[in-house]
Amino acid sequence: MADARSAPESLPPAFLEFLQENGLDPMMYSMVDTIPRYIRLKPGMEPQIPEIQSELKCHLNKVSWLPDFYAIPPQVQIASSMAYQQGKIYGIDAASGAAVLALDVQPGEHVLDLCAAPDMLGGRGSLTGVDVAKHRLAACRTMLQKYSLGDRCRLFVADGTSFSILPVNSSLGNGEGLVGLHKCDALRPSADDEAQTSGYDKVLVDAECTHDGSIKHIQKFEFWGWKTLDRRVLDAERTDDLLHLQLRLLTNGFKLLKTGGSLVYSTCSLTVAQNENVVQQFLCKHSSAELQKIGSADSWPCRSGSIFKTLRFDPATSQTSGLFVAKFTKLQI
Ligand SMILES: C[S@@+](CC[C@H](N)C(=O)[O-])C[C@H]1O[C@@H](n2cnc3c(N)ncnc32)[C@H](O)[C@@H]1O
């Protein structure tokens, strides 16, 4: 059980109570200044590492278990650097990178990111990004332009629990992108059984959550005000709604997955309610869903979730932000 007496002093009592109720250790928030910051280097930019190191005034430590990822000291800011502005580096936590890697996207595959924001971008297939928040998709669009990925991606401001648009042309198998997209194709709603053959090869549901595992995010409440945390994280009604939303996002993402395809469900919460319990409820209702072992995870610095084949990253074990990851496949039934 968590020991509230050893928590960082700045954490408010209501949050400590939330952690205790969920069996989470408040000490993880004191690691915020010691766990590294992670960046992803644009593939092909390796020869420029010495120049980037000299600009950031720090060493880029290669993350051995995650291709293209480097660790830098937590206090290093990258947003104003030329390397960032020119799209050579991008800040993303290694655990989030692992969730994307778990999808194992192959060239030419159709990928759906149902709670898009910018982390998924940079994959090798065609990408459909959906997010209910316009400003999050605006950030994605900026990234698409910056990394010249536009011809392979499309973005929708939409509710991921009811989004129903299948990949545009499932015969697209060469990674050339979505050139030739017509509005009438894009807005055609899908039938349930159509998705089994013409659905997405890979789906990422990085669901909205309480973000309690994202220790850098929680630290920001010191500036935003702890009252905001009460409203956005601790409100019991909101938490109930969240659990419902997570299950609905997972359910709809799975509906849009083709038979034999893979779906990754992740959250940056470390509570059992938002992770294992959602997975369990989903599995009870979907006989065609099966948890899959994440092939590349053998070398990852994470631990098993309480359901076999699920994974948990946390600051103490992984030197990353907290993240829960579960991978499903869709069986022919
Ligand atoms: C944990 S964040 C995802 C972060 C993103 N994958 C990334 O790595 O940057 C959850 C996202 O879900 C979005 N969201 C919340 N409710 C949604 C819904 N009903 N449909 C689609 N997206 C939703 C939020 O706007 C937010 O961008």
Residue of 121, 132, 161, 233 to test ligand 1 pocket, by largest number of atoms within 8 Å of CB: 132
Nearest CA among 250, 278, 244 for reference residue 264: 250
- The residue from 140, 209, 268, 302 that is catalytic is 268
Distance from the CA of 68 to the center of ligand 1, in angstroms? 24
Q: Is 153 a catalytic residue?
A: no
| Contact present, 315 and 321 (Cβ < 8 Å) | yes
Per-residue confidence (pLDDT) for residue 48, from 0 to 100: 97
Cα torsion 272, 278, 284, 290: sign: negative
Per-residue confidence (pLDDT) for residue 56, from 0 to 100: 98
Q: How far apart are CA 113 and CA 205, in angstroms?
A: 6
Q: Where in the chain is the domain with CATH 3.40.50.150?
A: 96-330
Q: How far apart are CA 115 and CA 205, in angstroms?
A: 6
Q: Where in the chain is the domain with CATH 3.30.70.1170?
A: 35-91
pLDDT along the chain (333 residues), means of 10: 54 91 93 94 95 98 97 96 94 95 92 76 70 90 76 88 83 39 51 84 96 91 82 80 96 97 97 97 98 95 97 97 98 90
| CATH C-level class of 35-91 | alpha beta
Per-residue confidence (pLDDT) for residue 187, from 0 to 100: 52
Per-residue confidence (pLDDT) for residue 316, from 0 to 100: 95
Per-residue confidence (pLDDT) for residue 264, from 0 to 100: 97
Residue list, annotated binding site for S-adenosyl-L-methionine: 206
**CATH of the domain spanning 96-330:** 3.40.50.150
Q: How far apart are CA 322 and CA 302, in angstroms?
A: 10
Q: How far apart are CA 239 and CA 45, in angstroms?
A: 42
> Concatenated DSSP letters for 29-76?
GGGTTTSPEEEEEPTT-GGGHHHHHHHHTS--EE-TTSTTEEEE-TT-
Residue list, annotated binding site: 206
Q: What is the CA radius of gyration of the chain?
A: 20
> Concatenated DSSP letters for 202-240?
EEEEE-----TT-HHHHHHHHHH-HHHHIIIII-HHHHH
Query: Taking CB atoms and a 6 Å cutoff, what residues make up the pocket around ligand 1?
Result: 96, 115, 117-119, 130-133, 136, 159-161, 206, 208, 268
Residues 6+ apart with CB under 8 A from 47: none
Q: How far apart are CA 199 and CA 184, in angstroms?
A: 17
Distance from the CA of 319 to the center of ligand 1, in angstroms? 24
- List 62's β-bridge partners, or say none: 70
Per-residue confidence (pLDDT) for residue 188, from 0 to 100: 56
Q: What is the b/e burial string over 258-272, where b = at least 16 CB atoms within 10 angstroms of the residue's CB?
A: beebbbbbbbbbbbb
Q: What is the b/e burial string over 300-316, where b = at least 16 CB atoms within 10 angstroms of the residue's CB?
A: bbbeebeeebbbbbbbe
- What token pair was written down for 282? 């989903």
Per-residue confidence (pLDDT) for residue 124, from 0 to 100: 53
